């Protein structure tokens, strides 16, 4: 076997490990991916008719306040000055999100200052003051009051989870952001932007090292030179696929939400005037629409057409692409069992969103990969430290 390390999955977690191992330690790394492309869900490509860059698995927005992550990613790409701003269409009127002073004044047809708005929201949230809500619906009302909650959160969340918020646990929304100023930036991080040349160019640069071999259309569970049975116990493995799949669902299936994406090319220059428009009303089946030309206003895209993508959310079934961990109490019990199984493996580290059953933004995946490299991989290969298997938390 011509590899010192096998990485299963070519998303940001796996590629960060592979790049660091190859560059800093000189290791030969085999990266496997069952798809026809690298990059995991961050993969993007130009739509054939328009040339507009489309994020194939839903919009990806890079942002971070982690200085080390920001320094690391800038080795492979420059970033635009894009600032993500989201709008929401409620009952035929467009508001800015997250809820801010502009949203509040528009919704209540008022011109309140920060203090007045804060007092109003506190008064409306007082409907459930002193109670201990056990479901998301009541918790949402307690946090921001019934009017704003029902307009912008209730049905949007219900569509996301395909579940009535009264049947969802309160901890899903431990807080709801409300800004008592006119700041309508979606993220508060120090750094934000989109890769100048697109996500795929960034990803390909991470993998562009003579010690890294990428094997696409290669399923870790289908056998072959780098299959699970061939590498188990023979070479360290970084596994970033679904943790339950690794153990053949021995402790049961973990539950996930997935999204369906409906793409359309329209013969107009601009459909909605922004990159993301949310639809929180119950009578609209999708949760939001992405219009990709707005992610890169600096590019000279065609004025004859635009690309939009409607996003629908539902529970994942076998064969679906898992996106967001549902993380019920039953799921956490299963995860404890998988954590024990993971510790019992020989030289296998579990990482990334699927491998740890945690929703990780891109910067979080990269940061956790850098930490794993520092704390486990580098000490093992450069200092002979024992490689303790695991990485699955519960």
Rg over alpha carbons for the chain, rounded to the nearest Å, is 23
In a domain, 178, yes or no: no
Co-location of 334 and 379 in the same domain: yes
Co-location of 336 and 248 in the same domain: yes
Q: Does 394 have pLDDT greater than 60?
A: no
Mean pLDDT for 266-273 is 98
In a domain, 137, yes or no: yes
Co-location of 235 and 126 in the same domain: no
In a domain, 87, yes or no: no
Q: What is the percent of the chain where pLDDT is above 90? A: 86
Tally of domains within the chain: 2
Q: What is the CATH number of the domain that holds 132?
A: 1.10.3110
Mean pLDDT for 182-208 is 97
Find the domain containing 143 and state its range. Answer: 98-173
Q: Which two tokens stand for residue 250?
A: 């021995």
Q: Give the active site residues.
A: 175, 179, 257, 288, 311, 359, 361
What was the pLDDT predicted at 393? 64
Please state the pTM of the whole predicted model.
0.93
**Which of 139, 173, 207 represents a domain boundary (last residue)?**
173
Co-location of 249 and 340 in the same domain: yes
Please report, for residues 28, 184, 209, 227, 327, the alpha-carbon distance to residue 1 in angstroms, rounded to integers and kept in the order given. Answer: 10, 53, 19, 11, 38
In a domain, 153, yes or no: yes
Q: Do 7 and 350 form a contact (C-beta atoms < 8 A)?
A: no
Q: What is the CATH number of the domain that holds 68?
A: 3.40.50.720
- Return d(Cα 277, Cα 263) in angstroms, integer: 15
Calculate the average pLDDT of the chain: 94
Co-location of 196 and 161 in the same domain: no
Co-location of 168 and 225 in the same domain: no
Co-location of 59 and 152 in the same domain: no
In three-state secondary structure terms, 362 is helix
Q: Do 192 and 67 form a contact (C-beta atoms < 8 A)?
A: no
In a domain, 276, yes or no: no
Q: Do 125 and 178 form a contact (C-beta atoms < 8 A)?
A: no
In a domain, 274, yes or no: no
What was the pLDDT predicted at 177? 84
- Return d(Cα 241, Cα 232) in angstroms, integer: 15
The per-residue DSSP string of 247-293 comes to TTTTT-PPPEEEEEEEEEEESSS-SSSSSEEE--STT-SSSEEEEGG
**Which of 173, 204, 222 represents a domain boundary (last residue)?**
173
**Cβ partners under 8 Å of residue 370, min gap 6:** 16, 20, 68, 69, 72
Co-location of 234 and 127 in the same domain: no
DSSP assignment letter at 321 = P
Co-location of 110 and 167 in the same domain: yes
In a domain, 391, yes or no: no
Q: Does 87 have pLDDT greater than 50?
A: yes
Q: 110-158, pLDDT tens digit by residue?
A: 999 999 999 999 999 998 888 899 899 999 999 899 999 999 999 999 9
Number of H-type helices and E-type strands within the chain: 14, 16
Co-location of 63 and 108 in the same domain: no
In a domain, 365, yes or no: yes
Co-location of 12 and 156 in the same domain: no
Q: Which two tokens stand for residue 67?
A: 């200085």
- Return d(Cα 324, Cα 313) in angstroms, integer: 10
**Which of 122, 139, 173 represents a domain boundary (last residue)?**
173
Largest CA distance in the chain: 69
DSSP assignment letter at 181 = S
Mean pLDDT for 225-235 is 91
Q: 32-49, pLDDT tens digit by residue?
A: 999 999 999 999 999 999
Residues 172-189 as b/e (b if ≥16 CB within 10 A, e otherwise) read: bbeebebbbeeebbbbee
Co-location of 132 and 240 in the same domain: no
């Amino acid at each position: 076997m011509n590899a010192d390390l096998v990485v299963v999955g070519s998303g940001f977690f796996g590629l960060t490990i592979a790049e660091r191992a190859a560059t800093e330690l000189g290791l030969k790394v085999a990266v496997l991916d069952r798809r026809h492309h690298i990059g995991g869900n961050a993969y993007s490509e130009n739509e054939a008719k328009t040339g507009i860059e489309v994020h194939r698995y839903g919009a990806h927005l890079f942002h971070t306040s982690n200085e080390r992550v920001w320094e690391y990613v800038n080795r492979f790409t420059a970033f635009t000055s894009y600032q993500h701003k989201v709008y929401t269409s409620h009952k035929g009127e467009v508001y800015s999100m997250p809820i801010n002073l502009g949203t509040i004044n528009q919704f209540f047809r008022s011109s309140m200052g920060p203090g007045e708005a804060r007092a109003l929201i506190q008064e409306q949230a007082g409907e459930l003051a002193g109670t201990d809500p056990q479901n998301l619906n009541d918790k949402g009302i307690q946090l921001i009051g019934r009017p704003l909650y029902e307009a912008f959160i209730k049905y949007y969340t219900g569509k996301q989870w395909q579940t009535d918020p009264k049947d969802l646990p309160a901890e899903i929304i431990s807080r709801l952001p409300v800004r008592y100023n006119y700041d309508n930036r979606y993220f508060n991080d120090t750094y934000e932007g989109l890769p100048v040349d697109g996500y795929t160019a960034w990803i390909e640069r991470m993998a562009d090292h003579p010690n890294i071999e990428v094997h696409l259309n290669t399923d870790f569970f289908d056998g072959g030179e780098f299959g699970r049975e061939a590498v188990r116990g023979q070479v360290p493995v970084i596994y970033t696929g679904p943790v339950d799949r690794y153990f053949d669902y021995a402790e049961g299936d973990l539950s996930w939400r997935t999204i369906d994406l409906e793409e359309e090319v329209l013969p107009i220059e601009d459909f909605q005037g922004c990159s993301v428009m949310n639809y929180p009303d119950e009578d609209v089946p999708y949760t939001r629409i992405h219009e990709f030309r707005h992610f890169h206003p600096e590019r000279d895209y065609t004025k004859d057409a635009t690309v939009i993508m409607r996003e629908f959310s539902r529970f994942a079934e076998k064969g679906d692409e898992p996106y967001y961990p549902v993380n019920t109490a039953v799921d956490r019990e299963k995860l404890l069992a998988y954590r024990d199984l993971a510790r019992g493996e020989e030289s296998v580290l579990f990482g990334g969103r699927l491998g740890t059953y945690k929703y990780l933004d891109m910067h979080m995946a990269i940061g956790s990969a850098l930490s794993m490299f520092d704390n486990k991989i580098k000490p093992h290969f450069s200092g002979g430290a024992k490689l303790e298997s695991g990485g699955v938390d519960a």
